Amino acid sequence: MTRAQTLAAVAETPGLLSSDFDDLGVTLTPAGGTLRVWSRAATSVELVVFDDTDLDWITDAIALEAGASGVWSVTTPLLRPGTRYAIRVDGPHGPGNTFNPGSLLLDPYSKGLVNPHFEDWRSVVVDGGFDWGGVGKPNVPLDRTVLYEGHLKGMTKRHPDVPPALHGTYAGLAHPAMIEHFRSLGVTSIELLPVHAFETEPRLLQHGLVNYWGYNTLNFFSPHAPYATEASRKEGPEAVLREFKGMVKLLHEAGLEVILDVVYNHTSELGIGGPRTSFRGIDNRAYYRQSADGAYIDVTGCGNSIDTSTDAASRLVLDSLRYWANEVQIDGFRFDLAATLGRDAQHEFTPEHPLLQAILHDPALAGVKKIAEPWDVGLGGWQTGNFGAGWHEWNDRYRDRVRNFWLSDVDYARRASTAPVGIGGFATRLAGSSNTFSNERGPLASINFVTAHDGFTLRDLVSYDVKHNMGNGEQNRDGADTNRSFNHGAEGPTDDETILATRRKAMRNLLGTLLLSSGIPMLTAGDEFARSQRGNNNTYCHDSPLNWMSWEYAPWQKDIHAHVQRLIALRQANPALRPSRFAHDDEVVPSASVIDWYDENGETMSIDRWTNPAHRTLQYDAASTPENEAPNRILLIVHGNERPIDVTLPRIEGVERFVSLWSSADETPSDDHEVFAPGDVVPIVSTSMHLFRME
């Protein structure tokens, strides 16, 4: 079957889009509320209502009636804003079924939660009313998007200009001091680590640790209450949601987008024997991937994996996205372990999966940025480049090649007198990864990153050869062993100024590559100030200064910040650096960049120059073919070994001069825009970059 036929078949089959799944959860009316719960195998479902103040006191219990497609429902005046409730579900026994009519379970569509006891939760009915005051989404164009990935608590916990009552909160993130930082830096879109309600795994609690990152979702519709201010938490779930929406509104007023990192691939119920809070008690067999004997098929490494081959489970994900995108005005989503969402009933990944297609084509999600982490840990789980048009993907090939070029290749060359590879692979990543993403998708399909929350920070990447994760309680076994890092001569902190200067230049090279490459760049919060995690490359379990951003910086760290500011500004000012499409030799492609490559002598790159490890120098000439902006042309010199070199600027028809814009050799960004002529010789220091505008 062709792709077009597959999509047509999906469109003709209601499946997860069936109206039978409409209005699940609580819908409020003037007469009360209607609760609708899906369970394919249940034999009874019961609504349990609690006292407003004593959450152990059951005041009412009402049976739900069975309806079409496994949906159970009840309408009652007891369901009103503020009602605390749970559900109890009974059903058959046997492999894969874990029904227990005594378990108090969360409504999967809860918009608010309260927690009377450890591992004991109640759903809360919320009204959700909010005055957006006419503030709309910024709708930042894709080519101008600069992502800033950070932890909501960690970004503000220690900020001296954010009031202490707002430290680590939704309100704190929208404080003028934070907005000023984001805007002055130049980023456009704040990508938050998980903010859906989540729990800490029992294993971590036994070690005195917590799940700090939040990749352990309890509920897909409720904001994580501990990130709200104390005042909002005391007032209740309605106030927590209102504070979250207030954060989004203020960031939107400042022109900043809000992207959520969402974890739909597994839940905090974990493997068999883990907590029973919702899905496991409602219909374990239908919500989680299992073999015939009831054993979980784990493709996430977290014990349980959501079975998106079940229409109702897929619809739950889609409805959650609709809710956050419209009711909460979220601008985009980064899907954790997105390959899991695209696995069919045979547990094999397909980009034509009904859920992936519904996310792309649902009118309620039009204009929402959709970013896939294109892998999971199951068989066939690595799918970078395979998600199809409309998706943007974390590009691990970009990350690895850029790290190799500036770090591990240089380390290798110090020991072997030559680098292991030439510059060709690096150039492909610089120009948009056309060997990974199709012409149809273009360079903006690639989310370029050098660091992320998971792994070394930028500073640690140039300061440590190996991970130092002893504080995680797993004897340094956790975290990636292959980091493609280079300590430049000393492991961790050092007073050797030569090593420190080389590390600073290495960071500038990595930042320069990230922010001058074709594609959508993602900067990790704190890298603009060279934040360190002391060599820990898996800090998921530390809610401490190890993860919290410090806002007191040495002069050299402020210099790094200034470089990031300059690079983002140059990216926005030069459309040749941010093409939307790949160019073609036989036609003019609007919003592309026509690329020519020259060697250090100003001559067209030869095959030998591309592949020879001894020649790791190129001149990257990109000329825009704009639709809405003035024509623009840049030249970027990249020099990838530790020997200085003289580079002859190319003689190009129509180019009369080269204006210097930025160099990674400078400790602080230079405002001296030196002008060069074609054929001039430019001295380039070891392992560095130099950007020019051609006029």
Q: 587-694 has which CATH code?
A: 2.60.40.1180
Dihedral, CA of residue 385, residue 386, residue 387 and residue 388, to nearest 10: 90
C-alpha triplet 334, 155, 268: angle, nearest 5°: 50
Catalytic residues: 336, 373
Dihedral, CA of residue 637, residue 639, residue 640 and residue 642, to nearest 10: -160
Domain ranges of the chain: 587-694
484-511 pLDDT, tens digit per residue, is: 999 999 999 999 999 999 999 999 999 9
The candidate with the shortest Cα–Cα distance to 300, out of 225, 216, 413, is: 216
Which SS3 state, helix, strand or coil, does residue 132 take?
A: coil
Strand pairing partners for 50? 58, 84
**29: Cβ–Cβ under 8 A, 6 or more apart, which residues?**
none
39 vs 457: CA distance, rounded Å: 44
The candidate with the shortest Cα–Cα distance to 239, out of 249, 228, 250, is: 228
CB of 237 closer than 8 Å to CB of 227: no
pLDDT profile of the chain (695 residues), mean per 10 = 47 80 96 96 98 95 96 97 98 95 98 91 97 98 98 98 98 98 98 98 94 98 98 98 98 98 98 93 97 95 96 98 98 98 97 97 97 97 97 98 98 96 98 97 98 98 98 94 97 98 98 98 98 98 97 97 98 98 92 97 95 96 94 98 97 97 98 97 98 98
- Residue 659 region by backbone torsions, left for phi larger than 0, else alpha for psi between -120 and 50, else beta: beta
State residue 10's pLDDT score: 47
447 vs 449: CA distance, rounded Å: 6
The candidate with the shortest Cα–Cα distance to 326, out of 318, 314, 335, is: 318
CB of 443 closer than 8 Å to CB of 434: yes
Strand pairing partners for 260? 192, 333
Q: Quickly list H helices, 164-208.
A: 170-173, 176-185, 202-206
193 vs 214: CA distance, rounded Å: 7
C-alpha triplet 302, 307, 308: angle, nearest 5°: 125
State residue 585's pLDDT score: 85
Phi, psi for 575 (deg, rounded to 5): -60, -20
**588: Cβ–Cβ under 8 A, 6 or more apart, which residues?**
625
327 vs 241: CA distance, rounded Å: 11
One DSSP character per residue, 56-113 reads: T-EEEEEEPEE-GGGEEEEEETT--TT-EEEEEEE---STT----TT--B--TT-SEE
- Residue 544 region by backbone torsions, left for phi larger than 0, else alpha for psi between -120 and 50, else beta: beta
Rg over CA atoms, the chain: 27
User: Reading across the β-sheet that carries 617-624, which strands appear in turn?
Assistant: 593-598, 617-624, 633-639, 688-694, 658-663, 675-676
CB of 33 closer than 8 Å to CB of 125: yes
What DSSP element (H or E) covers 150?
strand 147-150
Q: Is 477 exposed, middle or buried (0-12, 13-18, 19+ CB in 10 A)?
A: exposed
Q: What is the pTM of this model?
A: 0.96
174 vs 593: CA distance, rounded Å: 36
What DSSP element (H or E) covers 339?
helix 338-341
One DSSP character per residue, 275-312 reads: --SSHHHHHHHHHB-B-TTS-B--SSSSS--B-TTSHH
CB of 442 closer than 8 Å to CB of 581: yes
62 vs 78: CA distance, rounded Å: 10
CB of 187 closer than 8 Å to CB of 520: no
Token pair 């405002």: residue: 671
State residue 626's pLDDT score: 87
604-644 pLDDT, tens digit per residue, is: 999 999 999 999 999 999 999 989 899 999 999 999 999 99
386 vs 405: CA distance, rounded Å: 25
**117: Cβ–Cβ under 8 A, 6 or more apart, which residues?**
none
Token pair 């609580």: residue: 26
The candidate with the shortest Cα–Cα distance to 85, out of 119, 62, 117, 118, is: 62
